[in-house]
Structure 1
Amino acid sequence: MLFFKRKLTKTAGMLSLILASTAPGFSYADTAAVAETTPQLSVQLWSVKDAMQADFEGTLTKLAAMGFDGVEFAGFFGNYANDPAALKAFLDKLGLKASGAHVPFEKLSPEQLNTTVAFYKAIDCHYLIIPMDQRAFTVEGAKAVAADLAAVQEKLTPLGMQVGYHNHKPEMLGEMGKTPWDVIGKNTNSKVILQQDVGWTEVAGKDPVDFVKAYPGRTITTHYKASAPEPGNTEDPILGKDSTDWKALINANKTIGGTQWLVVEQESYPAGMTPMQSVEASLKGLQAIIAETK
């Protein structure tokens, strides 16, 4: 029976890759080398930025107790800004990993790169993601961003680290295959992470699964956001209460995206709920969805 289950799982995985290969701009040859993953759950700390600034250690302790495996840093380090070794020890104590960090381009400039890399290597954080660059809001500007990402990645590769880019709405606008996001994807190598923000992708009118399929193995981390703070957006901001087909996305992340981390990000909060309560509700919603996909 165990053998049968393993064979069935493998067959299903291969079938998903074959089906995915029919998507525009997608080839089975690209997916064949992507190993199936079991992503862990993280939270983007910007979601609870006020709590982080008020009580760094207490907030991380509460997030660990909720059941997160990791945290994605957003420039908040409390009393550990100059003591990454102590920060790593604190994370270890809580059973948390650094799933990544949002780091602006200036922190990766030639003048600051060594200092930045030393800090993040000390906390065992290997994924450094550019949170936003307004140049990437246009196709022409995205070409310059892609060139900068490629240059940074060339320096990070020997260090066992990866740079990436995180989208908002403008990067996803336009014809599929010709968006600013596509410009970045097509003009950088496979080491550069394409960290898709699902909420913003959907606000732009696109299906996030299509972008995972278009760039196999490059969605190493993904922001699971039910609702982006767009004027007029009435989507429920709690994962599982919204309209996103999370099961399809989870399957794509696992079988095609090479995804290591599903990162809960909360930028909208239901009335009467604090950011911490909203994050916990989204985590529980995501955990329930994952349980249903097994």
Structure 2
Amino acid sequence: MLFLKKKLTTTVQIISLILASTAAGFSYADTAPVTATEPQLSVQLWSVKDAMQADFEGTLTKLAAMGFQGVEFAGFFGKYANDAAGLKAFLNSLGLKASGAHVPFEKFSTEQFDATVAFYKALDCHYLIIPMDQRAFTVEGAKAVAADLAAVQEKLTPLGMQVGYHNHKPEMLGDAGKTPWDLIGKNTNSKVILQQDVGWTEVAGKDPVDFIKAYPGRTVTTHYKASAPEPGNTEDPIIGKDTTDWKALITANKTIGGTQWLVVEQESYPAGMTPMQSVEASLKGLQAIIAEMK
């Protein structure tokens, strides 16, 4: 009976989100059923890049001790740059997984594709996200980015891997359903991950939940950022001390997004706090919100 009650609750949540997205002017690009998820917690290592450069293994050890279950790489691998198997073994020793990696388009060129794929497969890292492409800052440019993403995904699908794209502010500007982000979503198939950075989405004046609802099952990983470094932005950069409706966002991620990883990212740091202290504070804030929802 408890199982049926939970299942009914999830179904009601999904129907409610569908109706809300329709009312907001969004339409589903893919209406296939989405299985509810229980996302794990990761951290984008760019958040603590200086610490990673200073002490790669020590920093990963501290992040694991904080309670992170995964890490998202950003192109720096310390002494493991040519030893993905060794890095995988080290992550295993800490109880960490590679939740994904930010990988620029050039790494998928004909010359570099095989080496790129071999490295990340050995690392057991299946979600490879393009961190930024300025072509996607306009609607026309976004179409070209979508075509490139589709081509990469076609090569990755037989390998059990997925490519994705990560937004900043410009991709989210424009009318609902007509932003550069929408052009990418509508011109790629459901295998291409739409990794939303909710901090930048909010800086663009949009509700990140709307974009999750518009493309069900495609928010496989999400960047949870309380504040983006926009001039004049005074939002508190620690999750739980800001104004984001995290509970609504988590619900959308879990019931509509197909989300496997919630990835904490810091680009702004409170005065007197180091980047490591900041990501730990955001992790604790996120954990407290999740605990309140149970």
TM-score by length of 1: 0.97
Structure 1 residues 145-164: aligned runs within 5 Å: 145-164=145-164
User: Which residue does the alignment assign to 1:264?
Assistant: 264
The answer for the alignment partner of 2:185 in structure 1 is 185
Q: Which amino acid aligns with 2:80?
A: Y
What corresponds to 1:6 in structure 2?
Answer: 3
Q: Hey, what does 1:66 align to over in structure 2?
A: 66
Provide the aligned C-alpha RMSD in A: 1.0
CA contact (8 A) 1:74 1:101 kept: yes
Amino acid at match of 2:259: T
In the aligned structure 2, how far is the partner of 1:29 from the partner of 1:194?
A: 13
Query: Distance in 2 between the 1:215 and 1:29 partners?
Result: 7
Kept in 1: contact 2:196–2:223 (CA 8 A) = yes
Provide the C-alpha distance between the structure 1 equivalents of 2:209 and 2:131, rounded to a whole number of angstroms: 21
Report the CA distance between 1:17 and its aligned residue: 1.3
1:21 is matched with: 18
SS at match of 1:101: strand
- Residue 293 of structure 1: aligned partner: 293
Number of equivalent positions: 290
Letter in 1 for 2:64: A
Structure 1, unaligned stretches of length 5 or more?
none
1:104 is matched with 104
Q: Distance between the aligned counterparts of 2:135 and 2:95, measured in 1? A: 38
Quick one: structure 1 residues 120 and 152, their matched pair in 2 at CA, closer, same or farther if it must change by over 3 Å?
same
Structure 2 unaligned spans of 5+: none
Is contact 1:21-1:28 (8 Å) kept?
no
**After the TM superposition, which residues 169-184 of structure 1 pair with which residues of structure 2 at under 5 Å, given as runs?**
169-184=169-184
Give 3-state SS (helix, strand or coil) of 1:21's partner: helix
Q: Distance in 1 between matches of 2:152 and 2:182?
A: 19
Larger mean Cα displacement after TM superposition, 8-17 or 198-207: 8-17
1:80-229 equivalence runs, <5 A:
80-229=80-229
Offset from partner CA, 1:49-97 (integer Å, 9 cap, x none): 0000010000000000000000000011000001111101000000000
Q: How much does 1:268 deviate?
A: 0.2
Which amino acid in structure 2 is aligned with residue 26 of structure 1?
A: S
Q: Distance in 2 between matches of 1:141 and 1:29?
A: 23
Secondary structure of the 1:88 match is helix
How much does 1:25 deviate?
Answer: 2.6
Write out per-residue CA displacement over residues 117-164 of structure 1, whole angstroms, 9 at most, x where no aligned residue.
000000100000000000000000000000000000000000000000
Give every structure 1 segment of 4 or more consecutive aligned residues whose post-TM-superposition deviation is greater than 6 Å.
none
- Distance (Å, rounded) in 2 between the aligned partners of 1:173 and 1:164: 19
Offset at residue 249 of structure 1 (A): 0.4
Letter in 2 for 1:6: F
Residue 275 of structure 1 and its aligned partner are, at CA, apart by 0.1
